[in-house]
């Protein structure tokens, strides 16, 4: 009998040859490496208050949520979390999902559908891309960094139901979407603007509410037609996703978002941890400034070590160091790990061909010793990797 999965081996070989084979590396409780790869931007995932939030919620509500949100899965804890997220971000209402991925799937599909058009940013996160495909709407890929391009697409679109989707903070390079201009285009063209603020929540925000997100910073949280999604798994150190918007939008998602309706509700532990983390963020807004100071320090180290990599001033937690071919990025990642630094490594399809890179993410809880090690390791590794590339 022929092996119906014989093609797997060939695919694996192709990926290996292209430097694109992935592998999983389990973490230890006590990590020997300074971590510049995680999304725990505010250092809250292991904060005792956040851990206690998960423990207490588990004791009170149980290990599992017992059902979907519309049946038994909505506890008072879920309701309180939604109220607090909406209040902190400045939205009228919020709806918690089991992940940021399912929040995007639910929001985009329920707000578009057959007969609609979704204008999707060229660099939109994979979950937005998948959501647009799943929606059965006509999908047009455009550059949200150039609002006039989005305007031109909308001007030509025959559909009356229109949704523009973009990340607020780019998940790879930290670039900020021009939300004010995009909102103006959407307002003029009758389109919903859906912003995925996964990397903006806890990182960007107005001076009066650091961490409330890029949409709040742009003063657009109450703008009619602006819908925001985010994850509870990055700055808030927990797990889960949220959609923020007008009350009638949230009511519609409860009726129509399939990834909300047919999914078991977020576990109490995750909801409790997210609620506790939000409390820490409200009480200690200085964590956001500490994150930005750490990002600036990491960027300065990378720039000093690799002037040729064009490291920009960071606007969020991530510092991309573009190296070129995937092998270079993996070599740099491995050399960093040897020297005591865990660095994120992005290769195609996460980034365009020829732009494989290290993605260093800062955290609010990096100390002076950590940052000194980052400086030492990058100064050693980046020139060496570059040298190999030029001679090899």
- Interacting residues with ligand PMP (CB under 6 A): 99-101, 104, 125, 127, 167, 171, 196, 198-199, 231, 233, 241
CB of 290 to ligand PMP, least distance (A): 22
> In 3-state terms, what secondary structure has residue 123?
coil
Smallest distance, ligand PMP to C-beta of residue 171, A: 4
The minimum distance between CB 42 and ligand PMP, in angstroms, equals 16
Return the number of the residue (198 or 278) whose C-beta is nearest ligand PMP: 198
Task: Report d(CA 211, CA 215) in Å as an integer.
Answer: 11
Q: Which among 375, 361, 389 is positioned nearest to 304, based on CA atoms?
A: 375
Minimum gap (Å) between residue 252 Cβ and ligand PMP: 21
For residue 335, the minimal CB distance to ligand PMP (Å) is: 25
Return the closest-CA partner of residue 388 out of 324, 338, 339.
324
Taking alpha carbons only, the member of 286, 270, 273 closest to residue 211 is 286
Nearest to 107 by CA among 245, 268, 7, 247: 245
Separation of alpha carbons 147 and 58, rounded Å = 46
Length of the chain: 392
Q: How far apart are CA 379 and CA 392, in angstroms?
A: 20
**CA–CA separation, 313 and 161 (whole Å):** 38
CB of 214 to ligand PMP, least distance (A): 12
Residue placing its CB nearer to ligand PMP in the complex, 301 or 355: 355
d(CA 164, CA 143): 11
Beta partners for 67? Answer: none
Minimum gap (Å) between residue 265 Cβ and ligand PMP = 15
> Closer to ligand PMP at the Cβ: 75 or 104?
104
| Calpha distance 287→42 (Å, rounded) | 6
Kindly tell me which of 127 and 355 has the beta carbon lying closer to ligand PMP: 127
CB closer to ligand PMP, 90 vs 100:
100
Q: How far is the CB of 239 from ligand PMP (least distance, A)?
A: 7
Give CA–CA dist 203/171, Å, rounded.
12
The smaller minimum CB distance to ligand PMP, of residues 47 and 121, is found at 121
Minimum Å gap between C-beta 271 and ligand PMP is: 13
Rounded Cα distance between 176 and 168, Å, is 6
Query: In sequence order, what E strands does 234-274 have?
Result: 241-245
**CB proximity list for 133: less than 8 A, separation 6 or greater:** 139
Q: Give the span between the Cα atoms of 326 and 356, in whole angstroms.
A: 5
Q: Return the SS3 of 364.
A: coil
CB 289 within 8 A of CB 317: no
CB 39 to ligand PMP: min, Å: 7
Rounded Cα distance, 382 and 341, in Å: 13
> Which residue's CB atom is positioned nearest to ligand PMP?
100
Closer Cβ to ligand PMP, 231 or 301, answer by number = 231
């Amino acid at each position: 009998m022929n092996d119906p999965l014989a093609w797997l081996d060939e695919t694996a070989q192709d990926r290996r040859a292209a430097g694109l084979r992935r592998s999983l590396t389990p973490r230890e409780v006590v990590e020997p490496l300074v971590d510049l790869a995680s999304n725990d931007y505010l250092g809250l995932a292991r904060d005792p208050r956040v851990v206690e939030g998960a423990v207490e919620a588990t004791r009170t509500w149980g290990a599992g949520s017992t059902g979907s949100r519309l049946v038994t899965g909505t506890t008072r804890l879920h309701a309180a979390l939604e109220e607090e997220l909406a209040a902190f971000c400045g939205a009228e209402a919020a709806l918690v999902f089991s992940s940021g991925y399912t929040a995007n799937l639910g929001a985009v599909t329920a707000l578009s559908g057959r007969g609609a058009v979704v204008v999707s940013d060229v660099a939109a996160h994979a979950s937005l891309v998948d959501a647009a495909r799943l929606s059965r709407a006509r999908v047009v890929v455009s550059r949200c960094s150039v609002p006039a391009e989005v305007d031109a697409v909308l001007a030509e679109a025959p559909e009356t139901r229109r949704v523009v989707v973009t990340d607020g903070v780019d998940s790879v390079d930290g670039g900020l979407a021009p939300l004010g201009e995009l909102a103006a285009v959407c307002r003029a063209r009758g389109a919903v603007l859906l912003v995925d603020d996964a990397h903006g929540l806890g990182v960007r925000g107005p001076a009066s509410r650091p961490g409330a997100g890029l949409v709040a910073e742009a003063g657009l949280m109450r703008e009619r037609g602006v819908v925001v999604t985010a994850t509870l798994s990055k700055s808030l150190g927990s797990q889960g996703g949220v959609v923020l918007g007008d009350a009638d939008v949230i009511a519609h998602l409860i009726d129509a978002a399939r990834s909300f309706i047919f999914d078991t509700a977020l576990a109490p532990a995750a909801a409790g941890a997210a609620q506790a983390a939000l409390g820490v963020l409200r009480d200690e807004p200085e964590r956001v400034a500490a994150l930005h100071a750490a990002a600036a320090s990491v960027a300065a180290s990378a720039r000093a070590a690799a002037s040729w990599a064009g490291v920009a001033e960071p606007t969020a937690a991530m510092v991309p160091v573009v190296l070129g071919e995937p092998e270079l990025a993996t070599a740099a990642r491995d050399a960093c790990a040897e020297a005591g630094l865990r660095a994120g490594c992005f290769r195609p399809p996460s980034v365009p061909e020829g732009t494989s890179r290290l993605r260093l993410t800062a955290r609010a809880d990096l100390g002076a010793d950590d940052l000194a090690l980052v400086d030492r390791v990058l100064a050693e590794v980046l020139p060496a990797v570059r040298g190999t590339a030029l001679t090899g």
